Amino acid sequence: MENHLLELRSVDVSYGDAQAVGNFSFYIDKGKIITLVGANGAGKSTILNAISKIIPTSSGEIFFSGMSTAGLKPEDIVKLGICQVPEGRHLFTKLTVLENLELGAYPVHTRPFMKDSIEKAFTLFPILKERINQSSGTLSGGEQQMLAIARALMARPKLLMLDEPSLGLAPKVVSLLFKTIKKLNNDGVTILLVEQNVHQAMEIADYAYVLQTGTCKMDGHCHDLLKNSDFKNTILGIRE
Ligand SMILES: Nc1ncnc2c1ncn2[C@@H]1O[C@H](COP(=O)(O)OP(=O)(O)OP(=O)(O)O)[C@@H](O)[C@H]1O
Ligand SMILES: [Mg+2]
């Protein structure tokens, strides 16, 4: 049997005495888009940060390509091929678009591909080419999100984790962003998408996990969940 690209088995994460994620298991296979949805405080960012080793797990196991990531540091995770675009983007706002992209190629093994990666970023996000020498703090919210994704791609990830990329963006910009995420996936990048924008996330994802207070409440193929009356009722708030 082939290994999953990423697998979490019974993961617990606590902040002090407060458990933020409890007994969470899930997996992502290569080539898919998986989405984690849930309200504020459900534990979505905590799961991404645990995968990235930004915060420790208190129990459970995490595997990438069949290998346990126990004991690894955040920089080892990037080297393995997992990149996270954090909530709030965290760009270097005084630096230009090009400088932000160049800094994205910080893992040594990605540097020889830097020129090629920048070309690819500009093909995926043509607006960034037009803004190449502009400081990133002067970009619109949508452009900044695109730059944050493009910068993560400079590290040539096998798995790209996006934490609420649509946050604060106008509906038209959100549609374009989601289309671009789908395109990126079609180009071969596996994606873990965390969203509060449940409906749109599920339109591009293959499979969804619904989190509530740190545990998985429901999961399923997006096309099934979108037809499921319990899901529509409790998660999407649609009464039939
Ligand atoms: N640094 C922290 N210290 C203490 N508690 C935290 C910390 N970060 C998150 N929490 C708590 O852990 C729980 C899960 O938070 P998390 O940020 O993972 O949720 P989320 O689903 O990403 O929410 P949002 O949609 O608001 O980003 C919440 O109860 C939150 O208050
Ligand atoms: Mg969050």
In tens, the pLDDT along 166-175 reads 998 999 899 9
Please, are residues 101 and 155 in contact by the beta-carbon 8 Å criterion?
Answer: no
Name the band, by pLDDT with cuts 50, 70 and 90, for residue 2: low
CATH class of the domain at 1-77+194-240: alpha beta
pLDDT at 50 over 80: yes
Whether the CB of 175 sits within 6 Å of ligand 1: no
Across all residues in the chain, what is the average pLDDT?
A: 93
Whether the CB of 44 sits within 6 Å of ligand 1: yes
With CA atoms as reference, report the closest residue to 91 among 46, 125, 45, 140: 140
User: For residue 232, what pLDDT is reported?
Assistant: 85
Q: pLDDT tens digit string along 183-234?
A: 999 999 999 999 988 989 999 999 999 999 999 999 999 999 999 988 888 8
Whether the CB of 157 sits within 6 Å of ligand 1: no
If you take atom 24 of ligand 1, which residue's CA is the nearest one?
40
pLDDT at 1 over 70: no
Please, are residues 191 and 33 in contact by the beta-carbon 8 Å criterion?
Answer: yes
If you take atom 16 of ligand 1, which residue's CA is the nearest one?
43
- How many whole angstroms from 195 Cα to the centroid of ligand 2? 8
**Average pLDDT, stretch 41-59?**
96
Report d(CA 183, CA 46) in Å as an integer. Answer: 27
Query: What is the pTM (predicted TM-score) of this model?
Result: 0.94
Whether the CB of 41 sits within 6 Å of ligand 1: yes
What sections of 125-240 are H helices per DSSP? 126-130, 141-153, 171-186, 198-204, 222-225, 229-234
Whether the CB of 14 sits within 6 Å of ligand 1: no
DSSP 8-state class, residue 183: H
Ligand that comes closest to the CA of residue 49: 1
If you take atom 3 of ligand 1, which residue's CA is the nearest one?
15
Element (H, E) at 100: helix 97-104
Residue 43 backbone dihedrals phi, psi, to 5 degrees: 115, 10
Whether the CB of 42 sits within 6 Å of ligand 1: yes
If you take atom 26 of ligand 1, which residue's CA is the nearest one?
40
Whether the CB of 22 sits within 6 Å of ligand 1: no
